[in-house]
Chain A
Amino acid sequence: MKSKTKKNIPVLYVKKLKVNFQTKTGKVTGVDDLSFSIFPGETVCLVGESGSGKSVSSLAIMRLVEFGGGKIDAGTIMFASNSNFQSNLIDSDQNKMREIRGNEIGMVFQEPMTALNPVFTIKRQLTEGLRVHKQMSKNEADIEALNLLKSVRIPEPERRLHQYPHELSGGMRQRIVIAMALACKPKILIADEPTTALDVTIQAEILTLLNRLKKETGTSILFITHDMAVVAQIADRVVVMYHGEKVEEGNVNEVFNNPKKDYTKKLISSVPKLGAMIGKKYPEPLKLDSKNKVKSIKIVGTTKPLLEVKNLVTRFPVTGGMFRKKIANLHAVEDVSFTINKGQTFSLVGESGCGKTTIARSVLRLEEAESGEVCMEGVDILKQNKKDLLRQRLNMQMVFQDPYGSLNPVMKLFDQVAEPLINYKIASGHNLNKKISELFDKVRLPRSFLNRYPHELSGGQRQRVAIARALALNPKLLILDEAVSALDVSVQASVINLLLDLQDELGLSYLFVSHDMAVVERVSHYVGVMYLGRMVEIGDRQTIFSNPTHPYTRALMKAVPIADPKKRFNRDDINFKPISSPIMDLGFVPEPSSYNIIKKGHYVLNNDIGYN
């Protein structure tokens, strides 16, 4: 695409960058001695876990880090706006930077939900940069905005221009943010975790979109992520970061096939890989590194049913009109049945909005189901009165996704874990102290944490506390609602191993709700795939993963990024349909789910749900 000589001049060259933050307790180093360069038309991935300084480096390049209290203390950032002229961004003043930002370096952020201004239309936000940098008139900018929306492949681009951000889905918003970043045809696009908050299918689409745009425009991409699988899919070169410092740098194939540093090895090995469990009938823990020996266990469980869900239907009323009458129903869960065996794991997998969390909540009756049966050892939970329901909940406990939101910030950890025991009057005094200490041992937390507050803990440690709290009542069933999704990969791996250990020790059953196919493959005995409130495919894990039959299951499998740079997405495979609305008129009577039996225990939905 470009001549050889031109390629040798990096479009961006970062040398010995050091960024510090001034805090109450003194200086904290965000990035230390970081050097790397990006050549024209190249994708460089900065990869590392949270706190590794990868976002800080990108903000430093944009000189936006100063707005967040950071200070660039040393280093150079050479930016070549053309082959003859290079300027050091660190010496540029903010006026000069404003000409570069959005014009020559575009940026895409992690959270599409909050990255757009909620009170302005898409058109207004898209045209702003064009009018500032390219001096376009209002009309010219409007036309260009429409072209941009078309280039990022948004359905119905004309209509989107007049909409507000909240009217669009996360995937569409991220496309808008990308369109905004690319508006002025920048030399470099910095993408800071652009797909982390998105579903796998949308992630696959955004990644192919970025790859395509890079080929079409010759833009260099600095891609920041924590996900090695995404790195394998998109990177030309990789820079691994840890605690603000560069650990390793190299060509993507080199880094994946022959990682030199232990940290890189650990990062690669802790990614749950799809297909890692082929030929293994039962879940087993991840082998993390050579230092910490993982017990090699196989979780067999039993075939005796513990929880049977039959024809579960949950709908939410949609109200409207002057007297807030019910005018429609949101069909969140529609005729779903499954069974969880004692000591085994049943996983519900699907994209956001497919109803998997609603099922989990309906089982505990945190959400009232419309009809159906939820039988726990023969007792129908849905028919219990308040008092009996309370007793039944002794057997079922839940762990939620967000370890920051699910713990009370003003209560000591001891009190939080003790609360269920006190509530059910199971233990008190010395006995209580002993029980809580044992629970902390079980989840591998030091007893010295008992008197701490949640903010003193990391995300993974908090999730362990949440698990300890759920285990306090000795439940038979744990409902894990995206319980490992918000954690860093290495932390995620250790929490998964903990869960598997606990299952082995205590004979627990899990209802595991997740959108992450690779994690599901690691932990499950049986898997149910959800789409638009229906269970589209259900079967044992090996069958589902080796012989996905429903078209949606297949699409979902294809969308999972593989941590191997040789197995990249085939662009023709990436053609997902937008999910249709689950809101139906009051008169709408959904047909019951009917299934084709592929083989014993492997069912595939027969109904037409708009995905064939």
Chain B
Amino acid sequence: MAPSTSSALTLKVNGEKHTLSVDHRTTLLDALRERLDLTGTKKGCDQGQCGACTVLIDGRRAVSCLQLAVAAEGREITTIEGVADGDRLHPVQQAFLDLDGFQCGYCTPGQICSALGVIEEHAAGWPSAATTDIRPEAGVPELTAEEIRERMSGNLCRCGAYVSIVQAVARAARAEEETV
């Protein structure tokens, strides 16, 4: 018997539950934008290469263009719309604004969601390809500009606002450390 090619499912996005019926081919990116009207998440390459569609899934950054919506059921999804605390911007958002971490802004929601992941991963002690000594005994690597560039390399910015993006991530990470 041919399997059913669509499913009714519930997606938890920014703390809110949405029940919808989707064709299994629907990516999380398309479900967010076309079905839930959450158009903050952007479609760039649609091939997992540019990072514009980055969201957080169970607190970890992921590209929503390669995530099937049906496979995201039961997981906590956070999009750029869910990052601020009401009218108060998240420190990462504020840092991007204050330091001009963008030009046209198209990649920015993905950059910000990715930066949230970077700050969390770094705080958890994860090394990166830029980390000289990855042994656990070496401790948490300092979040230098080189570390930020490596950790953010999955987010392309065609305007080339990288210098300011690195500064914004560094400032937001420092602010986060100070509040802990």
The answer on A and B forming one complex is no
